[in-house]
Chain A
Amino acid sequence: MSTATLTPSPTRAATLGGRPLALLRSVLATWRRLPLKAKIGIAILGFFILVAIFGPALAPYNPNATSTQAVPEAPNIHHLFGTDSSGGDILSQMLTGTRSTVIVGLVTGIIATTLSVLVGIAAGYLGGYADEGLSLFSNVVLVLPALPLLIVILAYEPHAGSLATIIALSAVGWPWGARVIRAQTMSLRNRDFVLAAREVGEPAWRIIVFELMPNQIGLIAASFVGTVLYAILTSVALAFLGLTDLSIWSLGVMLYWAQSGSAVELGAWWWYLFPGMAVAFLGMSLVLINFGLDELSNPRLRSSRSLRKLGRRNWRPADPTPVILDYAELNR
Chain B
Amino acid sequence: MNFIARRLAFYAVAVWAAVSINFMIPRLMPGNAIDSVLGKFQNLTPAVVKSLEAEFGFHHQGSIFSQYIQYWNDVIHFNLGVSTSQYPTHVSTIIGQTLPWTLALVGVATVLSFTIGTLLGIVAGWRRGGWLDRVMPGLTLLQAMPYFFLALLMIYLFAIKLKWLPYGQGYQLGLTEGFNLPFISSAITHSILPAVTIIATSIGGWMLQMRNVMLTTISEDYILVAQAKGVSTRRVMFTYGARNAILPNIAGFALSLGFVVAGALVMEIVFSYPGIGLTLYNAVTSNDYPLTQGIFLVISLAVLTASLLADVAYAFADPRARSRSAF
Contact = CB atoms under 8 A, between A and B. Distances in A.
Contact of B219 (A139, A259, A319, A327): A319
A45 B10 CA distance: 39
Contacts of A287: 140-141, 143-144
A289 to B, nearest CB: 11
Given A139-B10, A151-B280, A325 B216 contact: yes
Interface in B135-177: 137, 140-141, 143-149, 152-153, 155-156, 160
Interface stretch (B53-61, B113-121, B123-131): B123-131
Interface stretch (A81-89, A196-204, A300-308): A300-308
A204 to B, nearest CB: 23
Contacts of B33: 156
A192 interface: no
Nearest to A305: B129
Which of A151, A255, A294, A326 counts the most chain B CB atoms within 10 A? A151
A148 B25 contact: no
Interface string A321-332: 011111110011
B233 A318 contact: no
A240 B146 contact: yes
A157 B227 contact: no
A328 B156 contact: no
B238 interface: no
A94 to B, nearest CB: 14
Interface stretch (B67-75, B76-84, B86-94, B207-215): B207-215
The binding surface of chain A is classed by DSSP as helix
Contacts of B129: 303-305, 307
B215 A300 contact: yes
Interface in B197-239: 209, 212-213, 215-216, 218-221, 223-224, 227, 233
A328 B318 contact: yes
Contacts of A23: none
Contacts, number: 209
Q: Which range holds the interface residue count of chain B?
A: 35 or more
Contacts of B29: 153, 156-157
A241 interface: yes
Contacts of B307: 143
Contacts of B281: 241
A143 B152 contact: no
Given A140-B17, A144-B17, A316-B219, A152 B293 contact: yes
A3 B249 CA distance: 12
A145 B261 contact: yes
B31 A322 contact: no
A255 B155 contact: no
A146 interface: yes
Contacts of A142: 255, 258
A284 interface: yes
A199 to B, nearest CB: 26
A318 B219 contact: yes
B187 interface: no
Contacts of B255: 142-143, 176
A243 B25 CA distance: 16
Interface stretch (A5-13, A67-75, A111-119, A264-272): A264-272
A2 B17 CA distance: 28
Contacts of A149: 21, 296, 300
B304 interface: yes
Given A142-B258, A148-B265, 15 more contacts: A136-B13, A145-B300, A147-B265, A148-B261, A149-B21, A156-B289, A233-B146, A237-B147, A276-B145, A276-B149, A276-B153, A279-B145, A287-B143, A300-B216, A305-B129
7 contacts: A37-B137, A144-B300, A151-B284, A151-B296, A240-B148, A259-B270, A313-B227
